[in-house]
Structure 1
Amino acid sequence: MNFVSDNIVGASAKVLAALVAANEGAAGSYGADPWTARVDAQLDAFFGRKVTAFLVTTGTAANALAASAICPPWGCLLTHRESHVIDDECGAPEFFMGGAKLAGLPGIGGKLTPAIIEAHLAAEPGGTRRPPIKALSIAQGTEFGLIYTPEEVRALTDCARANGMRTHMDGARFSNALVALGCTPAELTWQAGIDVLSLGGTKNGCLMAEAVVFFDEALAEEFRFRRKRAGQTLSKQRLISAQFEAFFDGDHWRDLATHANAMAKRLADGLAGIPGIRFGWERQINEVFPIVSEALWNHLTAAGLKCVDWSDLSLPPEAALREGEVVLRLVTSFATRQEDVDALIAAARGFRAAA
C-alpha cells in the first residue's frame, strides 16, 4: 500500500520497450536523430499547431529553465506560496533566472485567481526598491490535486498579460488534468494564453522525460543555450525521445493517466463512506487528501500504508484541522493496483469497526 507518489514506480512496459529498442545501434547525437524528429512532429499534432520544444530529464530542470526564459534577473515571478516551483526546487528557478525573485501568493488548494494577483500588484510600491513583476507560474494540477479549467487559465493569463507578465504552466501532471477535464491540450495551453509549458512524462509512465514547450517562438530563441549551460542537452537524446514517442503513440499517455485517476477516484469514494474521514479538497486527478485522526493514521501505517502527511496551510477555512488531525496525501499512478486501493479502504474500515 505505497501511495507516497507517482514517482515511486518505473516506466510502463510500452515506454520501457521503446527505450530498449532505441538503445540498439548508432544514431545522431544531441537531438540529430530520427526519434527526436518524430517526437517534434508528435508534439505539433498533440497541441494542434507548430510548437518549439526542448527535452530535458527532470521536472526541476524544465520548471527552472522555463522560468528563466520568461523572467529577467532583475524581475519577479509570481506563483502560489506552496507551489512546487517555490517549495521543492532547491532554489533552481532563482539560480537559472540569475537571481530573480519568486513571490508566493495565497490561494485555496494551491490555486491562484486574478483577484489574488491584482491584490498583490496593488500592494507593490513601485519604483526601483523591489524587482518588477514579470512572470506568473501556475501548476496543472496543483500540489493539492486541483486543476484549472481552460476558462480559469484564460482569466489568469489575461490578468498577467494586462500587467506585463508572461505565463508558465508546470504540467508535471498535465496528462491527469487533461483526462479529468476532457479537453484538448490546445484548449488548456496556448488557446488559453499560456506562453510556455513544462510537459511532464516522468510521473505518467516514463523513466525520465520532460519537455519545455514554447508557444511563442521568440521566447524559445535563446533556450537552446540555456539548456546547454544547464547540462540538459543530452548527447544521447534519442533515449529521452524514445520514451516520449511511446508516450504519445496511440495516446498511451491517456491510458496511463486514466488508470491513475480511476484508482484515485476508487480510493476517494471508498474512504468517503467511512465515518470520521473528511477531505481537505475534492479529488480531481490522481491525488487524494483525507483528513484523519492521528490514531487512524498510526493504524494505517501499522497496516502497511506508506504516504506523506501534507500541509494544511491552503485548506479552506471550513476544513481547518481539529485537534489531533492530520492531512494525508495519497497518490496513485499508472501502475497502482486495485487490490492495494481496496486493502487501504478495508484497513480504514477495520479501524472504525473496532473503535
Structure 2
Amino acid sequence: MYFASDNAGPAHPKVMEALMKANEGYATGYGGDAIMDEVRAQIRDVFEAPEAAVYLVINGTSANSILLGTMTQPWETVFCSDWAHIHKDEGHAPEFYTGSKLTLVPSTAGKMSVDDLQHAILGEGNRGVHGSQRGPISITQVTEFGTIYTLDEIKALTATAQEFGLKTHLDGARFANAMVALDCSAAEMTWKAGIDTVSFGGTKNGAVAVEACVIFDPDLAWEFELRRKRGGHLLSKHRFLSAQMNAYLTDDLWLDLARAANAQCVQLAEGLRGHDGADILFEPQANMIFFNMTRQEHKRMLDAGAVYYVENGDPYAGDPEERLMGRLVTDWSITAACVTQFLDLLRG
C-alpha cells in the first residue's frame, strides 16, 4: 500500500535489463555512445520534430533548471504558477542556474489562467533598469495537484507569452501521464501548442534516473550544452542514461506504464468517493489524488501500513477531528490488489 510517490516505485525490468546490457564492454563517454544516437532519433520521432535538440540528465531539477537557464538572462524573471514544481520543490535550483527570480502567478488547482498570467507579465518589465525584465513562462504538466492543462489551455498560455515575445518551457516530469490522459500526441502537447522546450520525464514512470531535455529551437542547443557541462550534469558514463531512455521508449513502454499508473488512480479515486470520511479536493486527472480526512483517520491508516504523505500537519499530534490533506500517488507498479487492500482498510 505504498502511495507516497511515484519516485519511490521500482524501475521497470526492461530498463534494468537495458542497463545491464549497456554495462558490457566499452563505449564513448559524454553522450557520444551509439545508444544515444538511437535515443535522439526516438525522441525526435515521438515529438515529430526532426530538428529538435535532445539531451539527457539524471533528474527533473537539473532538466528544468538548465533549460530555464538557457532561456533566461540573469536580469529577467521566470513566470510560473504559485504551485509550480520549480517553486515548491527544487530548492531554488532554477534561481541558481538562471541567476534570475521567479514571479509567482496565482493558480486554481495548480493551474494558471491567461488573465492571471497576463497580469503578472504586465507587472514586470516596466521599471526600466531598476526592475526585472520579462523572461520565459514555465508550465507544470501534470500540476502539483494532479490536474492537467488541456491543449487549449496550453495554447492560450503560450499565445499570451508570444504576445510579449516570451518563450515557454514545459516541466513534464509526469509528461506521459498527462499525454495519455489527454489522449493526444507529444507534438500536440508541446511545439504544436507553442511550447519551446520540454523536460521529458522518465524517472517517475519506470526509469532509474533519466530525463530528456527537448529543445525545439536548434539555436539554443549549444548554449544548453555549455550550461549542462558548467553545471556538472554532463555524465561521463552517459551510456547508462541512454540505455534507460532507449528501453523506456522502445515499443511504447513509457505509454503503457503511464496508462497503468493512471488506471489504478481511477480505481483509487472511485473507492475514496464511496467513503464518507474522505473528501477529494481536486478532480484526479492523472496519477495523483489529494483528499481531506480527519487526523485520527490518517493515523489509523498509517498505523495499519498505508504509506502516503499527509501534507499540512502532523497526523500524530493535534485535534483528532481536525481534517488534514493527504496525497496519494500511483506508479506503474501499483496493482489492483494493492488498491483494494487500501480501500478495504479505509472502510474499516
Indicate the residue corresponding to 2:270 in structure 1. Answer: 269
Distance 1:89 1:223 in 2: 19
Residue type of the alignment partner of 2:130:
R
SS of the aligned residue for 1:275 comes to coil
Distance 1:227 1:349 in 2: 50
- Matches of residues 215-294 of structure 1 in structure 2 within 5 Å? 215-294=216-295
Indicate the residue corresponding to 1:144 in structure 2. Answer: 145
Indicate the residue corresponding to 1:335 in structure 2. Answer: 333
Q: Once the 2 structures are TM-superposed, how far is the Cα of residue 220 of structure 1 from its aligned partner?
A: 1.9
Distance 1:238 1:122 in 2: 45
Deviations 1:259-304 (CA, angstroms, capped at 9, x unpaired): 1101111100111111122111001001111211112111111111
Residue type of the alignment partner of 2:46:
F
SS of the aligned residue for 1:143 comes to coil
Residue type of the alignment partner of 1:334:
W
Distance 1:208 1:13 in 2: 14
Distance 2:27 2:208 in 1: 21
Check whether the contact 2:198–2:215 (CA below 8 A) recurs between aligned residues.
Answer: yes
Distance 1:128 1:30 in 2: 40
Indicate the residue corresponding to 1:22 in structure 2. Answer: 22
Indicate the residue corresponding to 1:49 in structure 2. Answer: 49
Residue type of the alignment partner of 1:347:
L
Residue type of the alignment partner of 2:165:
G
Q: Once the 2 structures are TM-superposed, how far is the Cα of residue 311 of structure 1 from its aligned partner?
A: 5.6
- Matches of residues 87-166 of structure 1 in structure 2 within 5 Å? 87-97=88-98, 99-124=99-124, 125-166=126-167
TM-score by length of 2: 0.95
Distance 1:311 1:14 in 2: 37
Q: Once the 2 structures are TM-superposed, how far is the Cα of residue 221 of structure 1 from its aligned partner?
A: 2.7
Deviations 1:65-94 (CA, angstroms, capped at 9, x unpaired): 011011100100011112110121111111
Indicate the residue corresponding to 1:320 in structure 2. Answer: none
SS of the aligned residue for 1:128 comes to helix
Which blocks of at least 5 consecutive residues in structure 2 are unaligned? 314-320
SS of the aligned residue for 2:158 comes to helix
Q: Once the 2 structures are TM-superposed, how far is the Cα of residue 106 of structure 1 from its aligned partner?
A: 1.3
Indicate the residue corresponding to 2:204 in structure 1. Answer: 203
RMSD, aligned α-carbons = 1.3
Check whether the contact 1:134–1:164 (CA below 8 A) recurs between aligned residues.
Answer: no
Distance 1:277 1:143 in 2: 20
Percent identical among aligned pairs is 41
Which blocks of at least 5 consecutive residues in structure 1 are unaligned? 313-322, 351-355
Distance 1:103 1:311 in 2: 24
Indicate the residue corresponding to 1:353 in structure 2. Answer: none
Check whether the contact 2:272–2:280 (CA below 8 A) recurs between aligned residues.
Answer: no
Distance 1:269 1:163 in 2: 43
SS of the aligned residue for 1:62 comes to helix
Residue type of the alignment partner of 1:9:
G
Deviations 1:133-190 (CA, angstroms, capped at 9, x unpaired): 2111011100000111111111000001111221111000000001101000000000
Q: Once the 2 structures are TM-superposed, how far is the Cα of residue 122 of structure 1 from its aligned partner?
A: 3.5
Deviations 1:235-279 (CA, angstroms, capped at 9, x unpaired): 111110111111110000011111110111110011111112211
Check whether the contact 1:57–1:208 (CA below 8 A) recurs between aligned residues.
Answer: yes
Check whether the contact 2:79–2:121 (CA below 8 A) recurs between aligned residues.
Answer: no
Residue type of the alignment partner of 1:325:
R
